Amino acid sequence: MKELRRNMRFVGTLVVILFVGLAAWFAMTVFTQGSVWASDVRNSRLRATASLRGDITDRDGNLLATTAEDGTRQYTKNTTARRALSQTVGDTAGMSTGIETFYSATLLDISTGLLGRLNELFSSAKHVGGSIQITVDGPLQAYIASEFPAGYRGAVCVINYKTGEILAMVSMPNYDPYDLAVRSDTQVEDTAYLNRCLQGLYTPGSVFKIITLASAITNDVNVLDQAFSCSGTWEYEGGHIVCAGNTAHGTVNLKTAFKRSCNVTFGKLAYQLGLERLRQTAERFGFNENFKFGDFVVYNSAFPTDVGNMNGLVWAGIGQGEVLVTPLHMAMITGTVANGGVMMKPWLIQRIRSSVGKTTATGAPAAYRQVLSESVASKIAEYMYETVQSGTATRAAIKGYTVGGKTGSAEVSNDKTVETNAWFTGFIYDEAHPYAISVVIEGGGAGARMPSELAAKALKKAIEFVG
């Protein structure tokens, strides 16, 4: 009998411990994930709430979304701007990465306390949610979308590399949120709901040479004086690599190889470094990392942890194979170089106000990580400047400003039957206009053409509009 009672006490104690543990887990999950659950597009209570959504404005206070007296959601009147901002602002029908959905709990202010709700009930006042001001410049984003090459898909990200503010986040194709008001999905182009800046995982091609260069300089100080021989192709055990157009660059130093985007040189650099050192540098820049920024969700960029053979290593060194990156992350990488090796945390929410105008949250600059030493960052910035001055990115030059950049042509098929994706990433080296940009045009061919020209236009307008 004593043994039975002892066993019963043990079981009872175990049940209590499990119950307390379950309650603690549930409370913690609600605390950490509550806002995500509340903002989920499948949450029917959001659609059923009687609250009026608050306003969404850009960095200068331009109205991007508001609620009319009849309860309908209205967006900016300019069609080009409305479409350009579609994936950033989102809609109430289910664009999962947009502000409308990601911040539904704030825009509806579903956290209002009991006393506030009772006051609204007895006063017959309509509950109005909070308003959100974002860091994006609406006119800049609309301009970039209007200048994006017709008929192409891709993305453009512009950030302030000193503060981390996202100034533009263009994804093409886009859509008109008014099309969804009548659930006319047939009017929306395929993949238009995808925010390519955050969710587009692209093979980076030669823009990845920024990371390979950083790894080489960091791990071997003598590499700056090393001479490389390029005959246009390099045969090695297990494969071969060629430069664009089979161009033979001859004997070159690292700076010349970078500004001419010599695949042979950077393939050899990857081989010298080895997978482990190259991977470590890539991961310092954020590859293979689960970014948690709070303002939005960005997909994880990838660098292989095992390439299997020399061929995989060489191709990884020029940004091919299993290497993938999002356009926003590429802008962050470039901004890190311009910012003396410090990567800033990107942010989108500038200010949140309650329905009575009280500021409840503000965004602020925050360093994410010291990725490079200042001296290494300065050397890479110098090479990127030379690339715009006399290398593959001359179309990105802006008169009166110091611009650094890197072009890229990323192969997306094994048999070369599909046109390469065209990349440009760069920055303005200027205290008053510290802007970094990444541009990817799917099927755009050489990065020296369309993306470089678009980047120059976008950066010029950023100077004009953002100041």
pLDDT at 108 over 80: yes
Residue with tokens 């949610």: 129
Question: How far is the C-alpha of 102 from the C-alpha of 94, rounded, in Å?
Answer: 10
Question: How far is the C-alpha of 372 from the C-alpha of 244, rounded, in Å?
Answer: 29
Instruction: Single out the residue of 345, 328, 301 nearest to residue 195, CA to CA.
Output: 328
Sheet holding 56-57, edge to edge: 73-75, 63-67, 56-57, 131-134, 349-353, 359-362
Confidence label for 123 from pLDDT (cuts 50, 70 and 90): very low
Report how far apart, in Å, the C-alpha atoms of 30 and of each of 24, 87, 111, 294 are: 10, 27, 13, 16
DSSP, res 395: G
Instruction: Single out the residue of 137, 13, 15 nearest to residue 84, CA to CA.
Output: 137
Instruction: Single out the residue of 451, 464, 467 nearest to residue 147, CA to CA.
Output: 451
40-53: average pLDDT: 55
- Looking at residue 360, its pLDDT comes to 93
Question: How far is the C-alpha of 396 from the C-alpha of 455, rounded, in Å?
Answer: 6
Question: How far is the C-alpha of 305 from the C-alpha of 95, rounded, in Å?
Answer: 33
Beta partners for 352? 132, 361
Q: Are 106 and 92 in contact (CB under 8 A)?
A: no
How many Cα atoms occupy the beta-carbon half-sphere of 423 within 13 Å?
31
Burial pattern 293-314, b for ≥16 Cβ within 10 A else e, equals: bebbebbebebbeebeebbbbb
DSSP, res 127: P
| pLDDT > 90: percent of the chain | 73
Question: How far is the C-alpha of 233 from the C-alpha of 224, rounded, in Å?
Answer: 22
DSSP, res 187: G
Question: How far is the C-alpha of 279 from the C-alpha of 196, rounded, in Å?
Answer: 25
Cis omega (within 30 of 0) for bond into 173: yes
Q: Are 110 and 102 in contact (CB under 8 A)?
A: no
- Domains of the chain with bracketed CATH: 205-347+365-465 (3.40.710.10)
DSSP, res 93: T
Pair of tokens at residue 389: 């001055």
Q: Are 154 and 196 in contact (CB under 8 A)?
A: yes
Confidence label for 69 from pLDDT (cuts 50, 70 and 90): confident
Q: How many CB atoms lie within 10 A of CB 111?
A: 13
Pair of tokens at residue 50: 């009687």
Residue with tokens 């990127």: 384
- Looking at residue 36, its pLDDT comes to 45
Question: How far is the C-alpha of 459 from the C-alpha of 462, rounded, in Å?
Answer: 5
Confidence label for 435 from pLDDT (cuts 50, 70 and 90): very high
Beta partners for 274? none
Which segments of 171-274 does DSSP mark as H helices, in order?
Answer: 196-199, 209-219, 254-259, 263-273
Pair of tokens at residue 174: 């886009």
Tens-digit pLDDT profile for residues 301-321: 999 999 889 999 999 999 999
Residue 32's Cβ-count burial label (10 Å; 0-12, 13-18, 19+) is exposed
Instruction: Single out the residue of 337, 323, 404 nearest to residue 377, CA to CA.
Output: 337
3-state secondary structure of 263: helix
Confidence label for 414 from pLDDT (cuts 50, 70 and 90): confident
Strands 435-441 and 154-160: antiparallel
pTM of the model: 0.88
Tens-digit pLDDT profile for residues 208-265: 999 999 999 999 989 999 999 999 999 998 899 999 989 999 999 999 999 999 999 9
The mean pLDDT of the chain is 88
Q: Are 326 and 198 in contact (CB under 8 A)?
A: yes
Instruction: Single out the residue of 441, 197, 367, 369 nearest to residue 296, CA to CA.
Output: 197
For the residues of 344-366, what is the DSSP string, one character each? EPPB-EEEEE-TTS-EEEE----
pLDDT at 44 over 80: no
